[in-house]
Amino acid sequence: MTTPDSSLDPDLGEMDYSDSDDLDPSHMDAQALEDLRSQLQDADPAVVIANHCYGLFELAAVYLSSVPPKLEEAQLAIDALAAIVDGLGNRLAPAHEELAGGVASLRLAYVQLLQATSK
């Protein structure tokens, strides 16, 4: 799992998170906010939650790949992702297996970096 699987989310399409103000309801006009709410109401919640999990995965990966690695920050992101993935289990299908594999990969990378930095 290196990037979100857009095939899991054909209805919502790609969302651009580069300008977080665009997602802040106070910066949206009424019609845009209603359109977003309508899309979310019609979306499969497992897909929406899985997309948030992909964001947590990417966040953890950014912290792990920082020079030097930001292990405390990565651990929080990994733990948050694991709490969702482990807690919801197969309710996240069809993305559960991919997400669980991602958690395992992040945990392995975290341990390897922790060992490398403690030498």
Long-range contacts of 103-110 (CB under 8 A, 24+ apart): 103/78, 105/1, 106/57, 106/60, 106/61, 106/64, 106/74, 106/78, 106/81, 107/78, 107/82, 109/64, 110/60, 110/64, 110/71, 110/74, 110/75, 110/78
pLDDT above 70 coverage of the chain, percent? 78
Calculate the alpha carbon distances from 1 to 32, 43, 71, 103 in Å.
32, 22, 20, 9
Residues 60 and 2: their CA atoms lie apart, in Å, by: 11
Domains of the chain: which residue ranges? 66-119
Q: Write the pLDDT tens digit of every residue in 12-24.
A: 444 444 555 556 6
Residues 1 and 99: their CA atoms lie apart, in Å, by: 7
Q: Write the pLDDT tens digit of every residue in 78-95.
A: 999 999 999 999 999 999
